[in-house]
A and B are shown apart, each in its own frame.
Chain A
Amino acid sequence: MFYVDLAISGIVFGCMYALMAVGLTLVYGMLRILHIAHAAVFALGAYVTVLVANASGSILIGFIAALIATPLCGVAIYRLLYQPLLHYRPDVPMIASIGLLVLMQDGFRILFGEQGVTFLKNPLAIETVDIAGITLNLAQIAVLIVTIIIFLALHLFTTQTRIGVAWRATVSNPRIAASFGVDAIRVRYLNFAIGSALAGVAGGLIALLNNFVDPTIGYVVSYKALAIIVLGGLGSVRGTLIASLFLGVIESYGTIFIGSYLNRDAIAFLALILILMARPQGFTGARTA
């Protein structure tokens, strides 16, 4: 059962990566910007969830607060930082984005302390259930269920609603969508709002899972998410989902088998670099910019 446990824990991590990375891949698809500060939005989601949950006594209210704060933050980043830089080489907004990540992460450290914050009461991380001999805690189950619901909702939204279809069209080809009268600016706001909300939920879930949030939470996840969107074939939601789960599971097994040579984060990057070298256009090769 050990290997099954590893796979499950890998999938749970993979779900988190997916929620985090989808926003990133959508931004890249639409604007060709590597939105590294997305990880700061994710960290914001984690902090807000914990702090509001503690203040209100309800984890659910914590999540709702994160769902309000993170889209606002994401849209503000687009409007204030990226929009003036859209006409420059992609490295320019990317470096600005790294600057913002460093700024926000350090801001969280200063505001909320070196030690980070923990839930006062988090029954989900403690209580476990046995399903067919596999032990899962409630937080893990919550991650799996929330991820499935979100991706289903996303699928329905982008196939069944007018604005959703326009959004998808813009991500896959901004120019053609514009010529069909899609309002690019509105779609971009929507893009940042939804992508950021997903990152916020991911942040809340990881806080639930680890039962604490520390000031470095964003860093590693951000670069890992970059790795994922490259592997997933930039701009592709499905590719990102697959790459996320793949990376989660690889890391899980990797820490067991090559963990004495490389740490968990290095494994992800080794996979990334090898695949980039073999397939410069990414895993699925869906998009060649």
Chain B
Amino acid sequence: MNAPVLALHNLAISFGGVAAVDDVSFAIGRGDFFGLIGPNGAGKTTLIRLISGILTPNSGRVELLGEDVTHRSTATRVRRGLALTHQIVRPFRTMSVLDNVVLAAGHMRTVDPLRALLQMDRHAERERAMSILRQVGLAGAETKLAGSLPLGQLKRLEIARALALDPTVVLLDEPLAGLNNSEAAEQIDMIAGVNASGVTILLVEHNLEEVIRASRRLIVLANGRVIGDGVPHDVMRQQDVRAAYLGESVETYAAG
């Protein structure tokens, strides 16, 4: 296997004595497509926050391209090649769709405010943003205000913004949430296309069917621990994975 671009080593964090993430380790190689699933309360959101730098673990390390970033800010991690999309989309609503992506494409210019002050040219970034918008299927929407887009397109805009950062690895947090079946299938095909162009993907999703279809490796989280790790179809046949999920679906059913 090639050198990992993102590696987690024995990550652990607890809140008020309850372990939310407990000794989680895995490594994603360049060009991989990882799916991360788990029932509600499994610790997925906490793990995402640890990877993105919103939370700092009680113990363990996060490495990006072999470098320890456990105590680095989100902005620093992004500069080192990590890109994030949010489960709840957060575009800059008062900017145009194009500007949203241009700003991301110019991330090397905005690292330092004073250097940013000395730069005005946006030509190259506009070109790049246009080509990314075409890649995610948003060509034609570039002059619209981001706030006016429907959810499906906003999800694409999030991904476009992430891609414009020229990332080594993209962490996608529920990019299918809120989409209908055909939209979700379309979206996952687009993501698979992005992966085919060489971008490493870590996909955190609720939609099992699509994750299993698209990812090459699947990690299952339950009660903060990794309970399954391997080729998707093999993992889904594991006894404890089925128990974790069936247990949940029974509960969900009862609650519903």
- Tell whether any CB of A sits under 8 Å from a CB of B in the complex: no
Chain A interface (Cβ < 8 Å from any Cβ of B)? none
